[in-house]
Amino acid sequence: MAGRNLLSLEGLSQEGILEVLDTAEIFAEVNTRAIRKVPTLKGKVVASLFFEESTRTRLSFETAAKRLSADVLSLAVASSSVKKGESLRDTIATIDALGIDAVVLRHAASGAPEQVSRFVPHVRVINAGDGQHQHPTQGLLDVFTIRRALAARAGTTGRESGAELFAGLRVLIVGDIRHSRVARSDVMAYTALGATVRVCAPGTLLPVDVATWPVEVVDDVDDALEWAQVVGVLRLQKERGTGSMVPSLAEFTLTHGLTWERFTRLAPQTLITHPGPMNRGVEIDSRVADVDTALMEQQVSNGVPIRMAVLYLALSGTSPEGSPVD
C-alpha cells in the first residue's frame, strides 16, 4: 500500500497486509524504547478529522503520528464550522489550504473518505472508520494482535512467521455483523491471511449479502464457540439502531453474548478480541473481558504501531529498506 490511500481492506493482498504488519513490528520496537519517537515523518503534516467522535481511535492515530515526528492538526468537529453548516468539501479544502500531507478521517457516513480522496487527490487519505463500511486499521491491528499472540506461543516472532500462523486458523466473529465496519475489515484481513472464518449473529444482525462473503454462517453459537481458536466479539451498536433489530439487550446476551458460562466451555487457549468500547454485560461478560486470553489491552497498544506503519507507508511511498527507524 506504499504511497497510497487506505480506504478499505478490500483488494489488499496477503503481501500488502504482511507489508503493514511487518512494518508495524519495527515500530512496535520503537514503542519499547526510553524515547519513543523517531524522526521518520519530520516535516510532514497529518490532519486528524473526526466527524464522528471516537476518543480512542483519534488518540491512537495522533500518538502514532507524533511518534513519527509528524505535525498533527486536529479538528474538533463539535466546535468547528461543520456545526455551522459547512460542507465536507469546504472543510477539507480549508484544512488542505493550511498545507497537509495526509488526512485521517472518521465519518458516520459510509464512503466519506473516498469522497474526500476525490476532493484532495494530492493528499493521502486514511480511513479511520466510515459508517457501516470499513475500519481498515482496526482489521489490521486485530490480525497484528493475533499474530503476535500466536507467535509468542509458538516461540517465534511475527515477522518470521509471516502468514503461516493464520493457515487454517479457526476464527469466529460473533454479534452485530450487519452494522459493523470492523466485521467487514476483519473478515477481509483474516481471510486474506488464510484463516477460516465463521460468523454468527441473530438473523436481523446479519448483512443481506452475507451469502457472498468468504465466510460460513452458523446458527449455533455454542457449537461455533467450541470450534473457534479466535473469537472476535463485536460491539452491539445501539447507536445504529440495533436496538430495534433484537427484542432486547437481555435477549441478545442470552442468544449471542459471550457469557461466563459460554466462556468456560471455550478451548483453554482460545483468544478473544473486541474492538471496544465494550458493552460489559451485553455482548461480553465483565469477567470474561478481564481474562488473560482476552486481548483488548493489546489491541489498543498495537493500534499505535499499526497506525505508525500505515502513515509511514502512505506518506513515504516506499516499503522500508531495512529499517525506517535507525
Partner 1 sequence: MTDVLIAGGTVIHHDATERADVLIRDGRVADIAPSLARPAGAHVIDADGCWVGPGFVDLHTHLREPGREEAETVASGARAAAVGGYSAVVAMPNTEPAIDSAMVAQFVLDRGRDALVEVAVAGAITVGRQGTHLAPIADMAALGVRLFTDDGTGVQDPLILRRALTYARPLGVTLAEHCEDEALAAGGVMNEGHVSSRLGLSGRPALAEELMVMRDIELVRLTGCPMHFLHLSTARSIDLVRKARADGLPVTCEVAPHHLFFDESVCEHYDALFKVHPPLRTRGDVDALQAALRQGDVDAVATDHAPHAPELKDLPFDDAPPGMLGLEHAASITRGVMGDDPIGFFRALSRGPAAIAHLRARDERPRHTAHGGDVAVGEDANLVVFDAADTYRVERHGLQSRAHNTPYDGLELTGRARALVVRGIPRLDQGQLT
Nearer to partner 1, 131 or 194 (CB): 131
N residues, the chain: 326
**How near is the Cβ of 85 to partner 1 at its closest, in Å?**
10
Establish if 94 lies at the interface with partner 1 (CB under 8 A): no
Establish if 318 lies at the interface with partner 1 (CB under 8 A): no
Cα–Cα distance for residue pair 19/219, rounded to 1 Å? 35
Rg (CA), the chain: 19
**How near is the Cβ of 179 to partner 1 at its closest, in Å?**
9
Nearer to partner 1, 209 or 321 (CB): 209
Nearer to partner 1, 124 or 184 (CB): 184
Q: Which of helix, strand or coil describes residue 272?
A: strand
| Of 17-25, 111-119, 279-287, 313-321: span binding partner 1 (CB under 8 A) | 111-119
| End-to-end Cα spacing for the chain | 22
Q: Which three cell numbers stand for residue 264?
A: 468456560
| Of 37-45, 66-74, 94-102, 208-216: span binding partner 1 (CB under 8 A) | 208-216
**How near is the Cβ of 81 to partner 1 at its closest, in Å?**
14
| Ranges assigned E (strand) in the chain | 45-50, 71-76, 102-107, 124-130, 170-174, 196-200, 216-217, 230-233, 271-273
Taking residues 119 to 138 in sequence order and writing x for each that binds partner 1 by CB under 8 A, - otherwise, the string is: x----------xxxxx----
Cα–Cα distance for residue pair 194/161, rounded to 1 Å? 13
Site residues for partner 1, window 210-269 (CB under 8 A)?
A: 210, 212
Q: Which of 208, 248, 264, 322 binds partner 1 (CB under 8 A)?
A: 208
| Of 11-19, 34-42, 94-102, 205-213: span binding partner 1 (CB under 8 A) | 205-213
**How near is the Cβ of 217 to partner 1 at its closest, in Å?**
13
Residue with cell 451485553: 282
Residue type, 229: Q
Site residues for partner 1, window 1-20 (CB under 8 A)?
A: 10
Instruction: Please give the distance of CA 111 from its chain centroid, rounded to a whole number.
Output: 16
Cα–Cα distance for residue pair 184/200, rounded to 1 Å? 14
- Residues touching partner 1: how many (CB under 8 A)? 26
Establish if 323 lies at the interface with partner 1 (CB under 8 A): no
Query: Phi and psi (nearest 5°) for 47?
Result: -100, 135
Establish if 89 lies at the interface with partner 1 (CB under 8 A): yes
Taking residues 173 to 202 in sequence order and writing x for each that binds partner 1 by CB under 8 A, - otherwise, the string is: --------x--x------------------
Q: Are 193 and 14 in contact (CB under 8 A)?
A: yes
Cα–Cα distance for residue pair 266/231, rounded to 1 Å? 10
Query: Nearest CA to 114 among 105, 231, 244?
Result: 105
| Of 82-90, 251-259, 290-298, 302-310: span binding partner 1 (CB under 8 A) | 82-90
Which residues lie near partner 1 (CB under 8 A)? 10, 87-89, 107-112, 114-115, 118-119, 130-134, 181, 184, 207-210, 212
